[in-house]
Structures are given as C-alpha cells and as structure tokens.
A and B are shown apart, each in its own frame.
Chain A
Amino acid sequence: MTRQEIIDELKKVLTPYTEDKTLLAGINEQTNMIKDLKINSANMVDIIIDAESKYDIEIDFDSAEKMVIVGSCIDVIMDKMNAKK
C-alpha cells in the first residue's frame, strides 16, 4: 500500500470528524489535523479507533501521540502494518 493510497483512505476516515469538508480537498502530508482541519482534539481517539479497525492494527499510546499531521499518521499506520507481516 502506497502513502498516497493511505492518504486517500485517511481522507474518508477524517470526513465525519471534519466540520468544514472543503478543508479536506487540500489535504497533504503536512496537514495538521487539529490546526488545519479544525478537528476537535477529543475526536482524535475516534480516528485512531477507526484506523485500527480499518487496517486491523493496534495503535499504542506512544504511537498515537505522534499522529499530529497526516504524514506522521501514515508513518504509524505503515509501521504497524509492516510489524504484522
């Protein structure tokens, strides 16, 4: 799975938590989920739970803390998927 494929899927995961859907159009690896997409920080845990079930992985506390920008989310998801192999 490529980084771009993960971004495209992540966009779908983030949609229900993003009030202003137009912000999702310009999403890239540098996009900060709380600052740029205005996602409520409490909802980050829901995004993590959604990602866990989507990729059948477990995201621990330390990894979750790294998930601030889209690029770091991809890093964590790819790490966890590779660890499964």
Chain B
Amino acid sequence: MVITGLGVVSPNGANIPDFLRSLQNGVSGIQFVPEYEKLKFFCQVAGMPRFEWEELRNYISDVSFNGLKAIGIGYGVKAAMDAWTDAGNEIYNDEPRTETGCVFGNSVGDSVVIKNVIERVDAGEAKKLGSRVVEQFMNSGVTAYISGRLGLGNRVLTNSSACATGTQAILMGYEYIKHGMAKRMLVGSTEHVDSYIFGTFDSMRILSRKFNHHPEQASRPMSATACGFVPGSGAGAMVIEDLEYALQRNATIYAEIKGGASNSGGQRSGGTMTAPSPGGVVTCIREALKNSGTSAGAVDLVCGHLTATGADATEIQNWSDALDRKGDDFPMINSLKSMIGHCLSAAGSIESVAAVLQIVHQFVHPNINLEDPQPEILELTGRDKIPVKQVKKEINNVAKANFGFGDINTCLLFSKYNINQ
C-alpha cells in the first residue's frame, strides 16, 4: 500500500514545500502570544500556522465559506484538499467516489463556535443560531466538510484518541484498504488550540513556561532543560491507496505504508489517564513491526512522540526495549515537536507527513533546542543519533509513534518505495 498525496498546515509551513524547507533547516514555528500574557497563562507561547483564512475560498464553495468559523475545520480542509490534488485528483466530481473513503480525526468541535452557542442559548436566543452551527460543533464536522467537497463515497468516519489521533486515523485507513473495503483513503487529523483548550492544559502545569521571551527555544524535547510542552495547531493529511490502483492511474508514489498497531496500556502497570504504560508502548511498537514485516534492526529512523516533558526519557527507554537496540546500534531519532510544539490530535498526522518527507528526500531533520540532552537519554542513544543539524542519510524504514491521554498508543511503519520490488 502506498502514499500518493501529502498535505500539511503546520506552524512552520502551511504547505508542503515550505514545511519541507523548515524541516531541513530546523525552522521553529513557535511564537509568543500576547493574548496569553493577558490571560495570565503560565505558558505564553504556541505553534500557530501562518494561515490566510481567505485562501479557503480556493478550497470550498462560496456558500460553505461564508458561514464557516471553525478554524480547525479550515486547517483540515486545506491539508486534505492539498493532499488530494497532490495525488493528482480533481476536487470536484459529479458522482460519489465509491472507491475512496476518509478517516479524519480531531479533539473537540470548535470551542469558539461552542462558546457562541452557550452564550446565545443562555440569553434565550437559541432561535438565532441558524443552520451552520451543528456542522461546526459536531466532532465529525471536519470529516463532513472534506468528504462532502470531494464526494467521497466509501467509509467516512471521525476518530478521536487525544495525541494518538493522527497516527490512528492513518492506521485505520490503512487497515480498511488492507481488508479490501476501499481502494483509497484520505486520512489525517486537525487541531486548533484556542485559548480555552490552551487554558485547560496550562492549568495542568505541563506546559513550557520558562521560555516565554524566547519562543523558539520553548519546545525542547529530550533536553535537560525541558520543562513541558508547547501546544501547537495545524493539520496533516495523506492519500493512501492500494498499490495496484495507484499504478493503474500512474500516480506519483512517495512511500510505502507497511502497517502498524494501536493498543492501550489499559491504564494499568504504570499507565494512567495521562501517562502511557511502558509495557503497552513496547507491545504496540513490537506489534507494529510484526504487522509490517519489519525487523527491529531495519528501522533507520524513529520519529518519536517526545513532547518535552518528564516522559521523554521513559519513551526512549521504551523504544530501546521494544527494538532491543541501544548505543551505537540505536536508530536515528527525532522529534518534530522541537520546531512546531505538540499539535495534540494533529500531531500524528503532521509528524507522519514529516516522516514520509524524510524518506522521500533521504534525510533526518534536526532536533532543535537539544544542545543539552538529558544524560539518561544520551546513555541509550549516544550523541550522533539525536542530531541537532540535518543529516543526509539513507532512510528505508521509519517508525512513527504517538501516545495519547487515555493510555492509547499507535505506531506506524513507513518505508521507501522501490519500483522494482
């Protein structure tokens, strides 16, 4: 099964060429947000895409655009349509495309839209809400906008598994094609962290608070001076399809998706609502390797979850245990979150797009803000395996994982596509 289209709205690039350049050069998309200072948040920086709302007019109908307020839906629509056209497809089609479905995830319906509903209803003005609120309030809004615009006629569903949402959406699309139910799936996820969502995380005291005046240094996965994650917003999307189907229509093939696994640690044995059980993580990675027919030794690059909290060292230990590799034998490992922060439900899809781009262009993107790695991480990885500058290298197999609240894990295996296989 292969990947034939990519789309992204990332804090450090709102299209694939910009995103790729940022990945290669270690460009941060983290900014100081003056509003967060006024709101008295501990953390006052965030990863925000430079996104021209008006640009959406090129993607959806005028009537649809006029009533759209939900920013997360906007991000998702742009990433998905970009992936779709990148795969060589036209946007509009008279008939439903019954061979193609969509799995797209997100965390919540747009909370600014929800706030408007709450205020109107409480003021006794529910009758003034109109017809366009439900579609933006509902969690499946983004999927409904995407599939409606493209006329996708196979399975269409919305998933939500906190930080594992994006990788899980891709895996669900993969499994659906694998079982012969669809030829092609448009998969991905979106997240818009507005001040309400931001506030809920800020209150947990798990966000980066010491770098408010140096936003580009605020997201520091694996660093000894890491002090929490930086929330980010955006969306990632890809078109995955049956190899035969892709070859028949002469599609450009970026990479192979070989499989993956998703499980839960059950919030047992060290797993909680907010922390993954090490046993669950190790099982998930091993299952992903097994399902994709990849040996642990063949993994060239790990694109980790690595959020810049106390959990980073545990995650590295889990990778080491799952792959049974350490020191000189450890694969290259990086965290895109160092540049864009943690995009929550969109993390998995944006990071998966980055993983595929590293295969296509044969490089390992830098971990920025990692001049001072944690000693216990260094012990397992060695200095060379957590590069702070881009490394040009042969990359055949990438393991990409995300771990979400609720103790939910997902791991994917992407591989270089060899024409003569």
Contact = CB atoms under 8 A, between A and B. Distances in A.
B128 A43 contact: no
A19 B128 contact: no
A18 B132 CA distance: 15
A49 interface: yes
Interface stretch (B60-68, B76-84, B201-209, B369-377): B60-68
A45 B61 CA distance: 19
Contacts of B418: none
A59 to B, nearest CB: 10
Contact of B63 (A40, A45, A49, A53): A40
Interface of B: 61-63, 66-67, 127-128, 130-132
B321 to A, nearest CB: 53
B128 A17 contact: no
| Shortest beta-carbon contacts, A-B, top 10 | A16-B66, A42-B131, A46-B130, A45-B131, A49-B130, A46-B131, A19-B63, A49-B128, A43-B131, A19-B61
B130 A17 contact: no
Interface in A1-60: 16-19, 40, 42-43, 45-46, 49, 53
Contacts, number: 24
A23 to B, nearest CB: 12
Contacts of A45: 130-131
Please indicate which of the listed interface residues B61, B62, B128, B131 has the most CB atoms of chain A within 10 Å of its own CB: B131
A17 B63 contact: yes
Given A16-B66, A43-B63, A46-B132, 7 more contacts: A16-B67, A18-B63, A19-B63, A40-B63, A45-B130, A49-B130, A53-B128
A42 B132 CA distance: 9
Contacts of B128: 49, 53
Nearest to B132: A46
Contacts of A43: 63, 131
24 contacts: A16-B62, A16-B63, A16-B66, A16-B67, A17-B63, A17-B66, A18-B63, A19-B61, A19-B62, A19-B63, A40-B63, A42-B131, A43-B63, A43-B131, A45-B130, A45-B131, A46-B67, A46-B130, A46-B131, A46-B132, A49-B127, A49-B128, A49-B130, A53-B128
A28 B132 CA distance: 27
A46 B61 CA distance: 17
A18 B61 CA distance: 10
A49 B67 CA distance: 13
A40 B402 CA distance: 40
A45 B135 CA distance: 14
B397 to A, nearest CB: 47
Contacts of A46: 67, 130-132
A45 B132 CA distance: 10
A17 B66 CA distance: 8
Contacts of A19: 61-63
B60 to A, nearest CB: 11
Please indicate which of the listed interface residues A17, A18, A53 has the most CB atoms of chain B within 10 Å of its own CB: A17
Nearest to A16: B66
A37 B96 CA distance: 23
A10 B128 CA distance: 18
A67 to B, nearest CB: 14
A41 B96 CA distance: 21
A19 B61 CA distance: 7
A23 B28 CA distance: 48
B276 to A, nearest CB: 42
